[in-house]
């Protein structure tokens, strides 16, 4: 696609009346003209476009290089807005909105007929909606007065962006503007829950855990595609391998001593090895590049840093990246899901201990 001038606005998210901020109004005006604009949410930066417009939706897919059979999540500025884009909102869905909106939870509902762009919903009869918990995101959506379709603001296949610089690295010259509202908080995308059936089903793990959802609404299932790579996932952003840095990633399941032996073997063959570890194990290893990704004592810190660390490997000249693995309890499920996608499901396991 041809290069365009990408505008860049810095917005202090502590300002009281953000939606009247000149930069926010300018970004919203571009959205009203069916241009696409990146802005921060509490999870990652989103690439926003008018969800009612085929033109805007096509620009999102073109900028990202995203496959057209991958639906987009619609971002709303209020709980009430859900009724503008969805029908048959169940009591379970209402409870989830009450408990977790604004916040990193996307809910799949039956869509309003003949309203949304079919490109946004990938021709499905359902729509994925969420209300982000970020003052800048909410201000931009309110100022635009539109439901905003917004996948992560990165080139398809790359790690999702947690800072405006990440967005600029991937999309400068491909989109109309970037609203810089600082670093994001959660660090991994929202949890996606299908509420079109009797029991809610988690299609993508994220910032809200299965345990938290069950505490709010009772029994909750997990989509079989999350554990069976032969099944096609139904969630936005889950169908293709992505989150990947340039060098191949391998998930290492075994002791620290065994992982170090694998690093040594590759280095003896002349390869430069990168290692993704945690603060607790940082001093144990020797490799060409070692990057810590939060603390095992608090997996939320790992989620927060994950994409930043995966991107940081691109600033190095490593040939291969080995990653430690994590428990799938709580937010660990989301961390391991993203690492599996980044690695293309490549594991190396210690066979004897």
The model's confidence at residue 231, banded by pLDDT at 50, 70 and 90, is low
pLDDT on residue 156: 87
Q: Are 342 and 334 a contacting pair, CB within 8 Å? A: no
Q: What is the pLDDT of residue 243?
A: 73
Cβ–Cβ under 8 Å, residues 28 and 144: yes
Residue 3 is predicted with a pLDDT of 79
CA separation, residue 322 to residues 17, 247, 295 (Å): 45, 10, 17
More confident residue, 229 or 145: 145
What whole-number distance in Å separates Cα of residue 218 and Cα of residue 200? 9
pTM, 2 dp: 0.92
* Residues placed in the known binding site for L-threonine: 43, 75, 130, 150, 190
- The answer on pLDDT for 254 being more than 90 is yes
SS3 content of the chain, % helix, strand, coil (to 5): 30, 20, 50
Binding site as annotated, residues: 43, 66, 70, 75, 126, 130, 150, 152, 160, 190, 204, 243
Percent of the chain exceeding pLDDT 70 equals 93
- pLDDT of 234 reads 56
> Is CATH 3.90.870.10 correct for 7-226?
yes
Give the tens place of pLDDT for each residue, 87-128: 999 999 999 999 999 999 999 999 999 999 999 999 999 999
Residues belonging to the chain:
353
Q: What average pLDDT does this structure show over 231-246?
A: 62
| 8 Å CB contact between 47 and 163 | no
Mean pLDDT of the chain: 92
Residue 144 pLDDT exceeds 60: yes
Q: How far apart are CA 299 and CA 134, in angstroms?
A: 21
Residue 1, pLDDT above cutoff 70 = no
Identical fold at 7-226 and 249-349?
Answer: no
Span 155-182, pLDDT tens digits: 988 899 999 999 999 999 999 999 999 9
Taking 80 as the threshold, does the pLDDT of residue 319 lie above it? yes
What's the number of CA atoms in the CB half-sphere (13 Å) around residue 114?
0
Residue 254: other Cβ atoms inside 10 A: 17
In the numeric block, the tokens 């971002």 are attached to: 75
Q: Which residues make Cβ contacts (< 8 Å) with residue 64, sequence separation at least 6?
A: 47, 151, 154, 155, 156, 171
Identify the CATH assignment for 249-349 out of 3.40.50.1980, 3.40.50.10300, 3.40.50.150, 3.40.50.11030: 3.40.50.11030
Nearest Cα neighbor of 237 from 190, 201, 177, 171 is 190
Q: What is the pLDDT of residues 50-89, one digit of tens each?
A: 999 999 999 999 999 987 778 999 999 999 999 999 999 9
Which tokens go with 256?
Answer: 């620290």
In this model, does residue 205 exceed pLDDT 80?
Answer: yes
Q: What pLDDT digit, counting tens, does each position of 12-56 carry?
A: 766 666 667 899 999 999 999 999 999 999 999 999 999 999 999
| Close Cβ partners of 239 (under 8 Å, ≥ 6 residues apart) | 67, 69, 70, 232, 233
Query: Hey, how many other C-beta atoms are within 10 angstroms of the C-beta on 320?
Result: 19
Q: What is the mean pLDDT of the segment spanning 206-220? A: 96
- Band of residue 2 on the pLDDT scale cut at 50, 70, 90: low
- The domain spans of the chain are 7-226, 249-349
pLDDT value, residue 93: 98
Helical (H) or strand (E) element with 312: helix 299-312
Q: What percent of the chain has pLDDT over 90?
A: 83
Binding-site annotation: residue ranges for ATP: 66, 70, 126, 152, 160, 204, 243
Mean pLDDT of the 323-334 span: 95
Read off the pLDDT band of 232 (50, 70, 90): low
């Amino acid at each position: 696609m041809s290069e365009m001038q990408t505008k860049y606005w810095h917005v202090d998210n502590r300002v009281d009346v953000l939606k009247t901020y000149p930069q926010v109004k300018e970004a919203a005006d571009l959205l009203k003209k069916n241009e696409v604009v990146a802005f921060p949410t509490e999870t990652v930066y989103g690439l926003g476009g008018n969800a009612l417009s085929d033109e805007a939706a096509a620009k999102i897919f073109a900028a990202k290089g995203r496959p057209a059979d991958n639906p987009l999540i619609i971002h709303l500025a209020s709980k009430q807005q859900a009724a503008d884009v969805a029908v048959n909102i169940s009591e379970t869905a209402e409870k989830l909105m009450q408990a977790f909106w604004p916040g990193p939870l996307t809910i799949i509902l039956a869509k309003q007929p003949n309203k949304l762009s079919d490109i946004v919903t990938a021709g499905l009869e359902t729509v994925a909606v969420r209300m982000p918990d970020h003052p800048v995101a909410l201000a931009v959506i309110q100022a635009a007065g539109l439901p905003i379709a917004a996948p992560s603001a990165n080139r398809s296949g790359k790690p999702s962006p947690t800072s405006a610089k990440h967005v600029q690295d991937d999309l400068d010259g491909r989109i109309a503007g970037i609203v810089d509202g600082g670093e994001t908080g959660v660090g991994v995308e929202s949890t996606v829950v299908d509420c079109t059936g009797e029991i809610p089903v988690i299609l993508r793990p994220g910032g809200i855990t299965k345990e938290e959802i069950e505490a709010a609404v009772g029994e909750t299932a997990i989509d079989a595609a999350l554990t069976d790579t032969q099944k096609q996932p139904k969630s936005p952003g889950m169908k293709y391998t992505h989150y990947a840095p340039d060098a191949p990633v391998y998930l290492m399941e075994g002791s620290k001593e065994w992982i170090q032996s694998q690093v040594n073997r590759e280095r003896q063959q002349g390869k430069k090895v990168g290692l993704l570890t945690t603060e607790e194990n940082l001093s144990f290893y020797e490799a060409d590049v070692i990057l810590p990704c939060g603390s095992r004592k608090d997996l939320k810190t790992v989620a927060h840093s994950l994409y930043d660390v995966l991107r940081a490997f691109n600033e190095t000249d490593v040939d291969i990246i080995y990653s430690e693995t994590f428990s799938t309890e709580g937010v660990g499920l989301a961390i391991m899901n993203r690492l599996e996608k980044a690695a293309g499901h490549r594991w190396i396991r210690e066979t004897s201990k």
